[in-house]
Structure 1
Amino acid sequence: MSLSFNLLNQAMLTQVLHELRQGNLQRCKALGLGEDDLTLLQSLPPTTLSRLAHASVSWVEIRIDSPVLRRLIEQADRDEQNERLINRALKLGASSTIMYQCFGLAHSETALRRRLLKIETRKGRPHHLSEAQEHALWRRWCQLREQEGSEDQLDAMMMLAEEQQISLVMVWQQIAQHNTQP
């Protein structure tokens, strides 16, 4: 048990001394030390600091802030879901414009992500859908909108791209075209 105390004491003392050398007094205070403690620590000789670091009794208290921990976990989950959504959109052929509008990703970030995912980009003009494909796409889009409401249009568009086996760009363009027609 004393080994874990030693490690905690050493880690804290090392951190505090580092922060003091850097002039980060507010950081030291945030760690729980008062001004008197800081003045005392700065005046101690190396042998006393060593004894403090290797004390068999812990002078460091560790406490878990459960609400903060849970918020951090929830944020990490949201970030992970967003990453999966971005990767899914890219794999379905989302354009840089779509990535910017939906996720705020710059063209260079989108290009880098494509390279990391080993997604080949098509050169030249995009293929056009046949009239039958356009009608099937629009009918399915209307069904999805009735089922899901208007919460997540991008997810519905990605579902359409997967079902119809066409790129997300084509789905995006067709829906935009239909929505702008009178």
Structure 2
Amino acid sequence: MSEKSKMLAGELYDPSNKELVEMRLSARLTTEKLNQTSVADLQVRTKLLKSLFGSTGKNIHIESIFNCDYGSNIHVGENFYVNFGCVILDVAEVRIGDNCMIAPQVGIYTATHPLDPIERNSGLELAKPITIGDNCWIGGQATINPGVTLGDNVVVASGAVVTKSFGSNVVIGGNPAKVIKQITTTV
């Protein structure tokens, strides 16, 4: 099994593997170009994002500065908006639904490390996928940790640290995040 396959399967993998190093370099070069492209040149910015991500809807907009590990493991739906300073560590897949908004300085992290210090010091890493449903809004400086799934219509309060999964139609906040209130939709 390749190191990339191990990585995507959530198994221990070697991040110094040549294929993975080259993939990360490619993503960094693309995000560097994105972050240096004028906000007035929307077509070029959109083209760069569509080439970077694994899949996107038609309407996607990300403010600079944006950073990610691979890009190819990020899949977003229609009407995706990200404000300034977002970091997505897409070592495992990150799937985000339609009509989602991400506020400034949000971190979405699939990457993790072994808890055992000897194993951690070996340099091997792990990853757990993140899934965010449709119509979600992630507030400023929120952190979404590895392995989290959020249902549809979830609002994550600013500064929240999301360490576990939540179902649909809730506002969550705090550290660790908990349900603050239920959302009643008008439809």
Which has the larger share of strand?
2
Which entry has the higher C-alpha Rg, 1 or 2?
1
Which has the larger share of helix?
1
TM-score category of the 2 structures, normalised to the smaller one? under 0.3
TM-score by length of 1: 0.21
